[in-house]
Amino acid sequence: MNVMTWASLCRDYHPGDPQVLVMSANHAGVSLHSHEVYEMVYVRSGFCLHECDDQMTLLTEGDFFLIRPGQSHRYLGSRAVELYNCLFGEGCVPARLRSHPLLAASPLPRAHLDLSERKAVTRLLERILAELESRPTAWETSVESLLGQLLCEYVRVSERRGLYGDTALYAGYVTPTLAYIDRMYDQEITMSGLAREMGVSPDYLTRQFKLMAGITPLTYLRRFRIARAMELLGQGISASEAAQRVGFHSLSHFSREFKRELGISPTQFKQQEHT
């Protein structure tokens, strides 16, 4: 299913619709939009920037999260990412989960899955896709059951990680770190300086960040910058100017890190964007 078809489905999907919609695809060029329904997102591979309610974060392989009805969001630098998206109305949420405090958390937490959790979530999403494609007898009941299992997995992972509630580690250290990188990514940032801003030691911040995001703060920063640069290159900005705008003070360093993440040079990426 291409992006335009998916966007049309999102616009036409309403909370009262009984079905669950699932897509597995690359989200190139999805602009700011919102839905009247929940959207569950699982990042299958790659990375990109995600803006939701004016907050920018980097999505990386293994991220798993929910977007509430009415929340505006978009994907940037998204040619390097593959996602599973699952749309469903509130009526599809199992009754016992509707009142769960996690679904009232603000913001809804983003969990980073380990290998076994990724396999479990991927298996459930693929089973939903298979049911939707073949539509065997009682497929609607099967899909609703599988969605319930997905939501249970989201709740359980979030509880295991301590991602919500008054003592949430994510809110305590990781969220401010993400916000700081969003504001200051074009400036010089070191691990010691980042830890000092958060009021903890570099080792402690690295451990907590990696537990929640799956990568170190400096890896997150590098990919954040590269995703920003991808957007600029797509707009026709030169590689040297893009490098400076996102915080790389050396074009050779920028080109080396860009190719390390994407397998092609900034110039090759720009040519692909404009062919």
DSSP state of 33: B
Same domain, 55 and 148: yes
Same domain, 140 and 211: no
Cα 86 from Cα 19, distance rounded (Å): 11
Kindly state the greatest CA–CA separation across the chain.
Answer: 60
Same domain, 132 and 52: yes
Please tell me the predicted confidence (pLDDT) of residue 27.
55
Cα 256 from Cα 258, distance rounded (Å): 6
Please tell me the predicted confidence (pLDDT) of residue 32.
83
- pTM of full prediction above 0.85: no
- Do residues 111 and 40 lie in contact, with contact meaning Cβ atoms separated by under 8 Å? no
Same domain, 155 and 207: no
Boundary of a domain, candidates 144, 161, 178: 161
Of 244 and 167, more confident: 244
pLDDT-derived band at 39, boundaries 50, 70, 90: very high
- Do residues 122 and 42 lie in contact, with contact meaning Cβ atoms separated by under 8 Å? yes
The phi, psi pair for 9, rounded to 5°, reads -60, -40
Residue 227 has pLDDT above 50, yes or no: yes
Residue 248 has pLDDT above 80, yes or no: yes
Residue 13 has pLDDT above 70, yes or no: no
Cα 155 from Cα 109, distance rounded (Å): 10
Share above pLDDT 90 across residues of the chain, in percent, rounded to a whole number:
49
CA dihedral 175, 176, 179, 185 (to 10 degrees): -120
Boundaries of domain holding 244:
169-273
Cα 77 from Cα 73, distance rounded (Å): 14
User: Which of 107, 91, 87 is closest to 41 using CA atoms?
Assistant: 87
Cα 241 from Cα 247, distance rounded (Å): 10
The phi, psi pair for 85, rounded to 5°, reads -115, 140
Same domain, 75 and 101: yes
Q: What is the pLDDT of residues 171-220, one digit of tens each?
A: 578 888 988 999 999 999 999 999 999 999 999 999 989 888 889 999 99
Same domain, 198 and 223: yes
pLDDT-derived band at 89, boundaries 50, 70, 90: confident
Same domain, 39 and 110: yes
Please tell me the predicted confidence (pLDDT) of residue 18.
40
Same domain, 194 and 101: no
CATH number of the domain where residue 78 is located: 2.60.120.280
Same domain, 91 and 209: no
Cα 249 from Cα 255, distance rounded (Å): 11
